[in-house]
Amino acid sequence: MTRPFLLGLTGSIGMGKSTTAQMFADEGIPVWDADATVHALYARGGAAVAPIAAAFPEAVVDGTVDRGRLRTALAAQEGALARLESIVHPLTTAARQAFIAAHADADLILLDIPLLYETGADAECDAVLVVTAAPEVQRDRVLARGTMTGEQLDLILSRQMPDARKRALAHHVIETHSLDETRAAVRDLIRTIRSRHA
């Protein structure tokens, strides 16, 4: 049997990536979630806790990584982000490879990776899907969550590859303005991939 087709999913914050990933899961497609993996690595007993404690002692509280304290540490230290990435990326790569191996009998696997292009993970994918929305829709969605300010959003966006560049690199693009249209586009894409790679 051939190996699973690996479809990478990415998109800037507020573009509907998590909703789209859930739609793939609803269609029976195994979904690997990079964010959930990082949360597990940062939790008590997670593989990233000890190395992060060594690099950023102020960021670990009661055996877990405190994301707020970690953000503060990253902002305060030159080269801190590269140091953090050198800890976290090998661990997430190993988790992703284990997930793929565990679902070797699937015909299609979705790899939900927010920083897919930024981390070079697109090289492991057979194709990449980028989800997108108008900038004002993106901003409204993020600010409606109530978890960050407009200034914090702007800082995040400044560190992410621009949406236009992601779309230019992608094999597939889905606009996420409407749930029904997004779901239909997801189903169409699954059919297309299966017909081409059966």
Domains of the chain: 1-30+107-198 (3.40.50.300), 35-102 (no CATH)
**What was the pLDDT predicted at 152?**
87
Of 22, 45, 46, 28, the C-alpha closest to 94 is 46
Known binding positions: 14-19
Count of CB atoms within 10 A of residue 196's CB? 9
**What was the pLDDT predicted at 198?**
67
Mean pLDDT by 10-residue block, N- to C-terminus, for the chain (198 residues)? 90 94 98 96 97 96 94 87 92 96 97 91 96 94 91 86 94 96 98 89
What is the value of pTM for the model shown? 0.89
**What was the pLDDT predicted at 118?**
87
**What was the pLDDT predicted at 170?**
97
- Where do we find the tokens 């479809």? 7
Known binding positions for ATP: 14-19
